[in-house]
Each structure stands twice: as structure tokens, then as C-alpha cells.
Amino acid sequence: MNVLEISSLFKNYGSHRALSNIDLHVPQGSIFGLLGPNGAGKTTLIRIINQIIEADSGKILFKGESLRQDHIQHIGYLPEERGLYKKMKVGEQLLYFAQIKGIRTSDARIKVRDWLERLGISEWRNKKIEDLSKGMAQKVQFIATIIHSPELLILDEPFSGFDPVNAEIIKNEILDLRDNGTTVILSTHRMESVELLCDHIAMIHKSQKVIDGPLHEIRRKARTNIFFVKLLKDENLRIADWPDFREFEDHVSFKIPLCGTPPNEMLRQLMCHGSVIGFEEVVPSIGDIFIQKVKENDHA
């Protein structure tokens, strides 16, 4: 089942086209990476889903129903530009956000307490937001986004402002939410986060979708059939004319295309040249694929 289905979505700002014929399907219980360079149209799409702005045309279904205003109660949105009230205390602010999402006050107090403990910031409950570090305030914003247990969670650059330790904490919370049934749309420029977290990805560039599908399938299609090889330096080493050849103190390395040769057969051939200590396929990272798609579309 898809939590979100988007069909033929268009949005213009005057003469500027922000979104052009966007089709997306976000599977339930997945982490869906929404990628693209600055100005590609990602933020416009997120704002349309959150009903902050309207599309010019197209259709959005939330759990099979046309997107309505009351569906917002089932969506959590963490914008890139954070929005906390700096003069309010942490506990009061989280209680307020929980209440406007329809949670009873008694239940909201329990949720606020539990989440503050979970993220290790209980002692900051009575501090004002302006007295917190950026990372601490980001934790409060994250809690405010998920405190009503949304079915769909939209995170725009959720790791911004976090040190590596706290980024790891938030990453694990996102995975835990996914494992407990929450569907997550993750918009980020951190490609390592995409590799670690996402089940599906879509990329928008110049208002158009240029990549869409399961992460493993996209990486499979990008395979090069080129292998990175390491041979141990010894008296049996036979050096040939290999591409990207490099020599080190105890080994040599190079890349070799299969050119239709099965990997096992190529490995047997390499063993005739010396002791193979490394034989690994060169698979482009999501960052590499991202850059390549941007270049292709810039020259299209």
C-alpha cells in the first residue's frame, strides 16, 4: 500500500515552473529519499503535500483518499527553517504543539516527558528555547514534529545543526519510527544519510523527476561491470597494462572492466598474475549517481 500517491503535479510561480508533471508513490512503512539540487522543486512539493500552498494541477492521494485539510493531523513536518518560539520553555512548547495536534492534555504531558527522557534532555524542560544550543533546540523541534505519532513524517534536512553523536541518535530514532510503521519522506543533501536510511528515492532536477525507484534497484542499474583489484607484491607478480595502475609498498592496484567475462573467470585470470588480495566491483554511490544525473540534465 502507498501512503502517498502523486499524479501529474504541476506548479508555476509566474513564468517559473517549479514542478512539471511529477508522479510519485511513497510506500507505507518506508523511508523515501527526496533528492535534488537547490531550486529543483523539492520544497515546493513538500509544501503542497502539507497544504501550505496549492498545486496548479494534479492529484494527491493520502492513503487512497484525495488529500484533505484534516489529513494534516496525520502528518508531521520538520521544515529546514525551524520554527520554535524562543521565549517559551521547552516543556510548555512541546505541550502546546501536542495539544494543537489534537492530543488530550493528560496524554500530551506523558508524551512530552517520555520524549524528553528518550532524547536525554529532561533537565532542559524548564529552559527557554533561546537558552539552548542549536543542537539541543533541534532535538526539541524533532520531538515537536513527531509527538502526535504521525503516519507520514516529512523531514527536511533533519541532521542540520547536529554533531555526529546526536546525528546518530536522530538517525536511530528515524529508523525506529520506520520499523514501527511510520512512513518517512527524507529531503536531504547528505548522501551518506540516503545510503544508510532510504528504501526508495526520487530525484527532482529543474522541476522534473529524473530518478525514481527502490534504492537497491537504482544502484543495480548504475553498475559499471568494472572491478577494483589489488595484487600482492611478490616474486610471482606479472605486471600488465592495467588502467588506473598504482604501485604501493606491498601491493599494486588497478581497475579492470569485465567486458562480458564472468567475475569468477576474471578472478582466475588475475590469479595468474599474482596473489589477489582485493577484488571488488566498483558501484557508484548515490552521491555519484546524483552528480551524474545533474550533469546529464544540465546538458540535455
Band (pLDDT 50/70/90 cuts) for residue 300 is low
Does 288 score more than 90 pLDDT?
no
Cα-trace Rg, the chain: 24
Tell me what pLDDT residue 215 has. Answer: 92
**Region at 7 (left for phi over 0; alpha for psi -120 to 50; beta for the rest):** beta
Q: Which has the higher per-residue pLDDT, 34 or 297?
A: 34
Cell of 134: 542549536
What residues does CATH 3.40.50.300 cover in the chain?
A: 2-219
Instruction: State mean pLDDT over 174-184.
Output: 96
pLDDT digits (tens, 9 = 90+) for 94-108: 999 999 888 999 999
Q: Decide: residue 212, CB within 10 A, 0-12 exposed, 13-18 middle, 19+ buried.
A: middle
Does 58 score more than 90 pLDDT?
yes
Q: Decide: residue 14, CB within 10 A, 0-12 exposed, 13-18 middle, 19+ buried.
A: exposed
Band (pLDDT 50/70/90 cuts) for residue 64 is very high
pLDDT digits (tens, 9 = 90+) for 134-156: 888 899 999 999 999 999 999 99
CATH topology of domain 2-219: Rossmann fold (3.40.50)
Bridge partner residues of 154 (DSSP): 77, 185
Which DSSP helix (H) or strand (E) runs through 114?
A: helix 105-118
pLDDT digits (tens, 9 = 90+) for 208-257: 998 999 999 998 888 888 999 999 998 888 888 888 999 999 999 999 99
pLDDT digits (tens, 9 = 90+) for 185-213: 999 888 888 888 999 999 998 899 989 99
Cell of 148: 502526535
